[in-house]
Amino acid sequence: DGGITQSPKYLFRKEGQNVTLSCEQNLNHDAMYWYRQDPGQGLRLIYYSQIVNDFQKGDIAEGYSVSREKKESFPLTVTSAQKNPTAFYLCASSIVSTVTGFLNTEAFFGQGTRLTVV
Amino acid sequence: SQQGEEDPQALSIQEGENATMNCSYKTSINNLQWYRQNSGRGLVHLILIRSNEREKHSGRLRVTLDTSKKSSSLLITASRAADTASYFCATERGNRLAFGKGNQVVVIP
């Protein structure tokens, strides 16, 4: 089955630690995204990548880092510099039109990782 | 500021009734998308409407887009208990999606 997989589903982090959230897709999508969702809030974009070995900061990139070494994988590291990391993290992927560069189709989301600082 | 702001924020209806929610945005867009999120889960795409389209249907869903007013609406007809979820609009500009805060819809059986 094609899809996008996030792991783990739940993650606990001690203050001062870095943690890495995994996101893998087998949809052959070029674009991948990381969003953060806080209770009662919409999704805020952390980082996105449209091609291997390239990524851009979103609206709230401070305290986070990513890599895109393979098309299928886009891991997110929550560093100790992120002061309020407790949140629900969502990864998504999509096709980007090679003609327009626009995101003209739907985004597919993983089931999310709930990160809690203890 | 965040693209896409849904109104109302929370809606409670009886099964069989229609549910309508609105979304406004601030700048020009290429398309607008609606997503559903069940509690604690990822988002699921419902429908995409392009900037040159005014209305689109998919099953019990009807989406309208008014680019002159920079607004969109999502109508769910004959609601079911399984429609209980949060609904988000997202606007696409270039190569990224910007989401609103979402509407919580509760359908009472």
Pairing of strands A87-94, A76-78: unpaired
Over chain B, what is the mean pLDDT?
Answer: 89
Q: Would you say residue A99 has pLDDT above 70?
A: no
- The Cα–Cα gap between A69 and B84 comes to 39
Asked whether the CA dihedral A80, A82, A86, A87 is positive or negative, the reply is negative
How near does any CA of chain A get to the CA of B3, in Å? 10
Option in B45, B88, B96 nearest A106 (CB): B45
Test B48 with A102 for CB contact under 8 angstroms: no
Q: Would you say residue B94 has pLDDT above 70?
A: no
Which residue in chain B has the smallest CA separation from A103?
A: B95
Size of interface A-B (CB pairs under 8 A): 74
* pLDDT band at residue A24 using 50, 70 and 90 as cut-offs: very high
- Identify any residues that bridge with A7 across adjacent strands, giving them in sequence order: A22
Mean pLDDT within A43-50: 93
